[in-house]
Structure 1
Amino acid sequence: MSNAHESVAERTTPAAIWAGFAMMCTGMFMAILDVQVVATSLPTIQSALDIEPDQMSWVQTAYLIAEVIAIPLTGALTRVLSMRWLFVLALTVFTMASIGCAASSSFSMLICSRVVQGFSGGTLIPSVFTAVFVLFPVRHQGIATTLAGVLAVLAPTVGPIVGGWITETYSWHWLFLINVLPGMVAVLFAAMLLPRDHMRLKELLWLDLVSLSLMAASLAALEIALKEAPQDGWSSRLILSLLTLSFTCAVVFVVRTLRASRPVVDLRNFADRNFTIGCILSFVLGIGLFGSVYLMPVFLAFVRDHNALEIGVIMLATGLTQLLTAPIAVALEQRIGARVLTAAGFCVFAIGLGLSSLQTPQTDYEGMFWPQIVRGLAIMFCLLPPTRLALGRLSPAQVADASGLFNLMRNLGGAIGIALIDTVIYLRSPIHADALTARLQAGDVLAATFVGIPLDQFASRPAGQLDPDTQALLQSLVEKAALVQAINEAWAMIAALTVVALLCVPFAKTCEIRAYWRRKA
């Protein structure tokens, strides 16, 4: 298969390859952006379709479950359809599903369209990273990876401002209709420009449907458990049952897959030490990326009372810093070892996460600016070198499966990270509220300053005591302050996990990538 890809790439002009790859990046950007723009406007969609409040989160969950199932299947689908036709078909279905979402007149219709949208969109991300190592020579792979990486992490950053602007300017239908025109253009040009390869439909005869079902059941049960665990409790019967189902299906899937001659997902890639370490780093990066994009809107909406558009404007600092850092990351990646850059990137990223754990209820744009800048400086170094570390030593025939697993780890990290964050917020906020109330009743000036009570009013109370009526008036301030403390603990948690990830970097092999690829050629 590698020789076929190499000969196909040789028959395509470099300009056409870059243009086709740009179309693939466009499709990937749309798929990632779609999640965030919809998240900002869930209340609007809920009101328009008269959806029960406790059912509203399924608009996002249905997409994410379908996406996480599709991601590891990208390798098998690439072998069957070829990289070119998989992308064209997936983006076509994604665009049509977007139209279906916009045309939905009921909750069930919207959910069905979101499932189709999520499954088709899930194949676009790993397809792009597969293309980096299949289409380009090693000297261009850093630039291609950076282009894909910038768009992959920029989409969640600009998502809130795009979603907020659309919701306030147009109707919620345009949250989905914005995918149509770029989707049609990308499909048309990708079909013409991407290297042509033969489809292998006979591979479908060897598709292990049992393994496929086990993988789908395991991932779906895990996603649902992670979604419900913060509210229901990790020890509830429902969560334990879902986690048990997920683990059992996963074990049977792994055993069956390792024995298969033509596995649905080639888990033997984990035998490569660098790939395994790269996946660990991708998992932890997912916790930090998804966690930070989740925590900032929660803080800005529930503590600072900003709307979606204002939140998007504040969060632009990270995305703009990433864009400015990208050329530097490309230049350094060509000159400095992946291990050194990875360690530096995760170290700086952890510092940026840790700085956000110092927020107060009064923190706003100015206080959030520098932590965002620090994280923006680090993100490309947390993405580009680990991607090279994980996929750069593999043959083109291995890359499609490996890319799916690599990207799956990032998404799973994000899902688990958000579940842990929600758990911290749900469990710790009431505890902090009780502690703050006790400190205020004891006359603690520092607590009053943190909560935001005017000191002259606080000091005028005899012995600093607050009567019940005043406590009722200040309840909102105390609850917001308690939420801030819980959010700060969540920031500190993901910062600590990022530091722990550094421990595996020294175990990566220090091989000369250029020499390796010259030997492969």
Structure 2
Amino acid sequence: MTIVQDKPSSRTRAGTGTGTHTLGFVAMCVGMFMAILDVQVVATSLPTIQEALGIPPAAMTWIQTAYLVAEVVAIPLTGLLTRALTMRWLFVLAVSLFTIASVGCAASTGFASLIAWRVVQGFAGGTLIPAVFSAVFLLFPPKRQGIATTLAGVLAVLAPTVGPVIGGWITQTFAWHWLFLINVAPGIAAALCGALQLPRDDTALDRLRAIDLTALALLASSLATLEIGLTQAPENGWLSGPVLGLLAYSAASAGAFAFRTLRARIMIVDLRLLGDRAFAMGCILSFVLGIGLFGMIYLMPVFLALVRGHDPLRIGQIMLVTGVAQLCTAPLAVILERRIDGRILTLFGFVLFGVGLGLSAWDGPLADYDAMFWPQVIRGCAIMFCLLPPTRLALGHLPPARVPDASGLFNLMRNLGGAVGLALIGSLVFGRTPAIGRGILERLAAGDAATAISLGIPVAALKDGESRLTPALKAALEQLVGRAALAQAIGEAWALVAVLTLGAVVTLLFVGSPVPWREAGDDPHPGARA
């Protein structure tokens, strides 16, 4: 069946960005930063929101889940929406809708209204991330793409780092409504700047009327059930009926979507991109990076809150080390990216990131800022090398017409990697903690001096004979042992994420050397009209 071809105007050709377009790109980066930051600032204050609105504790997680499900559904649709609405109007509409939904969240008086607005917020925010990364290759010539990618990458990773600080400060200083109202002023400014400064292309709304609605429903339901299933797996178990049902439905829907899409005249997402070896390997790297980034941002607050007992503001202050290291390294990453093969820089970045993750596996229950400092520095220095070169390897050689779809898939893989990683980490941490705790108690009961010393217990407290661990002493040690067990389980999770990150470098053997479309002699706009 014939695939409808793109015929974009000259304004959408790669590398046509001007100083004016640069201002528009900065506005897009601000919108993306807001969308990512929103997840983090709300996460730190879920108990406050739950208490204020009288939300049942069991339903509290849906405040985040609703946003994340809508976001992951929106990400792969960005290519379609970009071609139909143009980059300019997609951004203006998305950031405006995100801002309106933020006001709606702040004005919510109950659970239902808050969840409804969070869905709108998540869908609008989900289009902003891939739109920014596609703009890098559509607005700027190759020499400036490194700087643009670095700006986008720094903000994308910095937002989760500073989120706990901002969220904790707002919660302690103002009402919870300001967690959402902080989006209003920058949202309005970004929308106005984007409308005035981004390229003015012609819309093609007829594409929206021609899409396969069945395929769209299959895509949305597949991604939504996958996200919900992964969220429920740590609590209910991977083999529980609901989780297995959700994951099975997600897989079946994904297969049906692929079957219909690859035979459709109007493709919602150009799945043929996965036949490009460099792009496919870049997606694998993006998936694994998502596991590392989301895992890192999850494990540190859990450790600092549940093991060390720190409040959200202090947790954010400790985690700022990663963001500062990232900012300091970003200029070096831009310089090296212009001079060194991207595969070498990617290898360096993932190995360094894996080492930084692995060092945290040795943190004991007494570890705090000092012990976490250098692992954070190493991870922060590695992040830009894990993001900038793989992005260029995956997207930099593609024709402009295929970049929006490719950016959506590339960023979707990072989010899915994060979802899978969090599910695995949650299952490992909270599944292993009870068993580790029982093992610690058994060693104490057997008079193991090394275990007692590691917990700060006087060896003399362990009596001779079978009564070494009396009921009174056992009760007194319960909290101490629980923290030690949780710390060890978190260490095992760090080790798992480190191994996966280091293993990702194998994909570099299959990347090859991507040839830019101009050099390859390809039609500059061969991508499918979605």
- Whether the TM-score (by the shorter chain) exceeds 0.5 is yes
The DSSP-based 3-state class of the residue aligned with 1:447 is helix
Please point out which of 47, 59, 67 is paired with 1:43: 47
Please point out which of 511, 519, 525 is paired with 1:508: 511
Mapping 1:309-388, distance limit 5 Å: 309-388=313-392
Instruction: Give the equivalent residue in structure 2 for 1:270.
Output: 274
The DSSP-based 3-state class of the residue aligned with 1:462 is coil
Instruction: Give the equivalent residue in structure 2 for 1:69.
Output: 73
Aligned length: 519
Q: Is the 8 A contact 1:452 1:477 kept in 2?
A: no
Distance 1:246 1:174, change over 3 A: same
Q: Which amino acid letter does the alignment assign opposite residue 479 of structure 1? A: G
2:238 equivalent to 1:237: no
Q: Which amino acid letter does the alignment assign opposite residue 494 of structure 1? A: V
The whole-number CA distance in structure 1 between the counterparts of 2:257 and 2:13 is 35
Deviations, residues 58-96 of structure 1 (Å, cap 9, x unaligned)? 000000000000000000001110000000000000000
Mean alpha-carbon deviation: is it higher for 317-326 or for 13-22? 13-22
Please point out which of 303, 306, 322 is paired with 1:302: 306
Instruction: Give the equivalent residue in structure 2 for 1:462.
Output: 464
Runs of 4+ in 1 over 4 A off after TM superposition: 8-13, 512-515, 517-521
The whole-number CA distance in structure 1 between the counterparts of 2:265 and 2:126 is 25
Mapping 1:31-430, distance limit 5 Å: 31-430=35-434
The DSSP-based 3-state class of the residue aligned with 2:339 is coil
2:465 equivalent to 1:489: no
Instruction: Give the equivalent residue in structure 1 for 2:528.
Output: none
Q: Which amino acid letter does the alignment assign opposite residue 184 of structure 1? A: I
Q: Which amino acid letter does the alignment assign opposite residue 354 of structure 2? A: A
Query: How far is 1:24 from its partner?
Result: 0.2
The whole-number CA distance in structure 1 between the counterparts of 2:496 and 2:439 is 21
The whole-number CA distance in structure 2 between the counterparts of 1:275 and 1:128 is 18
Q: Is the 8 A contact 1:357 1:489 kept in 2?
A: yes
Q: Is the 8 A contact 1:303 1:361 kept in 2?
A: yes
The whole-number CA distance in structure 2 between the counterparts of 1:214 and 1:373 is 42
Instruction: Give the equivalent residue in structure 2 for 1:476.
Output: 479
Distance 1:516 1:356, change over 3 A: farther
Q: Is the 8 A contact 2:329 2:384 kept in 1?
A: yes
Please point out which of 440, 454, 462 is paired with 1:436: 440
The whole-number CA distance in structure 2 between the counterparts of 1:515 and 1:362 is 56
Q: Is the 8 A contact 2:16 2:139 kept in 1?
A: no
Query: How far is 1:458 from its partner?
Result: 3.3
Q: Which amino acid letter does the alignment assign opposite residue 493 of structure 2? A: A
In structure 1, the gaps of 5 or more residues are: none
Deviations, residues 94-134 of structure 1 (Å, cap 9, x unaligned)? 00000000000000000000000000000000000010000
The whole-number CA distance in structure 2 between the counterparts of 1:193 and 1:2 is 24
Deviations, residues 353-387 of structure 1 (Å, cap 9, x unaligned)? 00000010100000011000000010000000000
User: RMSD in angstroms over aligned alpha carbons?
Assistant: 1.8
Q: Which amino acid letter does the alignment assign opposite residue 499 of structure 1? A: L
* TM-score between both structures, scaled by the size of structure 2: 0.95
Deviations, residues 143-188 of structure 1 (Å, cap 9, x unaligned)? 1001000000000000000000000000100000000000000000
Q: Is the 8 A contact 1:361 1:450 kept in 2?
A: no
Q: Which amino acid letter does the alignment assign opposite residue 202 of structure 2? A: H
Distance 1:435 1:11, change over 3 A: closer
Q: Is the 8 A contact 1:91 1:120 kept in 2?
A: yes
Query: How far is 1:423 from its partner?
Result: 0.3
Aligned-residue sequence identity (percent) comes to 59
Q: Is the 8 A contact 1:450 1:481 kept in 2?
A: no
Deviations, residues 23-55 of structure 1 (Å, cap 9, x unaligned)? 000000000000000000000001100110000
Q: Which amino acid letter does the alignment assign opposite residue 50 of structure 1? A: G
The whole-number CA distance in structure 1 between the counterparts of 2:366 and 2:48 is 28
Q: Is the 8 A contact 2:428 2:489 kept in 1?
A: yes
Query: How far is 1:5 from its partner?
Result: 5.1
Query: How far is 1:289 from its partner?
Result: 0.0
Q: Which amino acid letter does the alignment assign opposite residue 374 of structure 1? A: I
The DSSP-based 3-state class of the residue aligned with 1:183 is helix
Q: Is the 8 A contact 1:221 1:245 kept in 2?
A: yes
Query: How far is 1:8 from its partner?
Result: 5.2
Query: How far is 1:426 from its partner?
Result: 1.8
The whole-number CA distance in structure 1 between the counterparts of 2:7 and 2:338 is 26
Distance 1:23 1:444, change over 3 A: same
The whole-number CA distance in structure 2 between the counterparts of 1:510 and 1:9 is 23
